Every structure is written in C-alpha cells, then in structure tokens.
Amino acid sequence: MATIDALTIGPDSEVTMHFTLSLNNGTIIETTRGHDPVCFSMGDGSVIEGLEQAMYGLKSGEQQCLSLEPRDAFGFPEQENIHEMPRSEFSDDIDLQVDNIVNFSIPSGEEIPGRIQEVLDDKVIVDFNHPLAGHNVIFEVEILEINPNKI
C-alpha cells in the first residue's frame, strides 16, 4: 500500500509538471503548455524557492495558481548589479541598443545575461538583475507525476 508521502510533493521528490509564468497584467513570460512538461527534483535549484515552497504537499493531478511577490520570486533589483563597462570591451558585432540582452562570460566559464540600460559615447551601462526582479508573478502549475526520492 502506498503511503500518502509517495503521492504528494515532498523533499527530493521528482516532479513532472506543466506551468505558465505570467505577470499580474496577464503577460505570459513562459509556458510549457503545448510543449513537453518540465521534470525536476525538489531542492535541486532549478525552480525558484518561493514556487518550490508553495508546491510542497501538492498531489499528482492537482492544478494550482500561485501568486508570488518579488521576495518569494525573483527578488528585488539591486543597484550593485548595474555596471558601467567601457564601450571598447564590446565587439562591433554586438547590437548595443537599450533593452537588448547580451550574454557575458564570467571567469567560471558560465554565461550570464545582461540588459543594456544605457549607451554612452565611452561606456555602456548594463543591468545584471533578473529581468523579473521587482515584479509580482503568477505561476499556474499542473502536477502530472510525482516520484518520491529513491535513495
């Protein structure tokens, strides 16, 4: 006989779900509807903590609409994530237009996106805050399958 823990989302559960991420005004940011669902393990860092916390206890087949404030979603914009960079550091093939997203390589080899905030004669102001920082977001989730931790 299966225990209730095997049927609900808990620590280290493997979850398969569909989701739609939108802003309060209805703008859809991302969705898996019409595509393959996502699969992840609770606690692996692939889902923002606020959403993960709100999913604990959900069961397979359940649908939930979760409204998250910035502190529980993508945080608040931080001034220290805005950097002035010499324009000479940008190659000529990069389109330096305000609001364009440019990928930057960091010493670890990872690439991180930055939004061009301002372009001046000798420097470029780049915002490395998450694009959704400061926004309330709505996650609509449909839990398709839950597999308990199999250690």
4-74+133-147: what CATH class? alpha beta
| Architecture of the structural domain at 79-127 | Beta Barrel (2.40)
- Distance, in Å, from the CA atom of 129 to the CA atom of 63, rounded to the nearest integer, reads 30
- Distance, in Å, from the CA atom of 92 to the CA atom of 88, rounded to the nearest integer, reads 9
pTM reported for the whole predicted model: 0.75
User: What is residue 7's predicted lDDT score, i.e. its pLDDT?
Assistant: 80
DSSP string, the chain: ---GGGGB--TT-EEEEEEEEEETTS-EEEE-TTSPPEEEETTSSSS-HHHHHHHTT-BTT-EEEEEE-GGGTT----GGGEEEEEGGGS-TTS---TT-EEEEE-TTS-EEEEEEEEE-SSEEEEE-S-TTTT--EEEEEEEEEEE----
User: What is residue 109's predicted lDDT score, i.e. its pLDDT?
Assistant: 87
- CA angle at 35 for the pair 29 and 37, rounded to the nearest 5°: 90
Tell me which amino acid residue 102 is. Answer: V
User: What is residue 5's predicted lDDT score, i.e. its pLDDT?
Assistant: 46
Q: What is the pLDDT of residues 107-145, one digit of tens each?
A: 898 899 999 999 999 999 999 999 899 999 999 999 999
Average pLDDT over residues 21-42: 95
User: What is residue 88's predicted lDDT score, i.e. its pLDDT?
Assistant: 92
Please give the structure tokens belonging to residue 70: 């910035």
Q: Where are the domains of the chain?
A: 4-74+133-147, 79-127
| CA neighbor of 18 nearest in space, from 6, 7, 4, 34 | 34
**Is the pLDDT confidence value at 150 over 80?**
no
Q: What is the pLDDT of residues 38-71, one digit of tens each?
A: 999 999 988 888 889 889 999 999 999 999 999 9
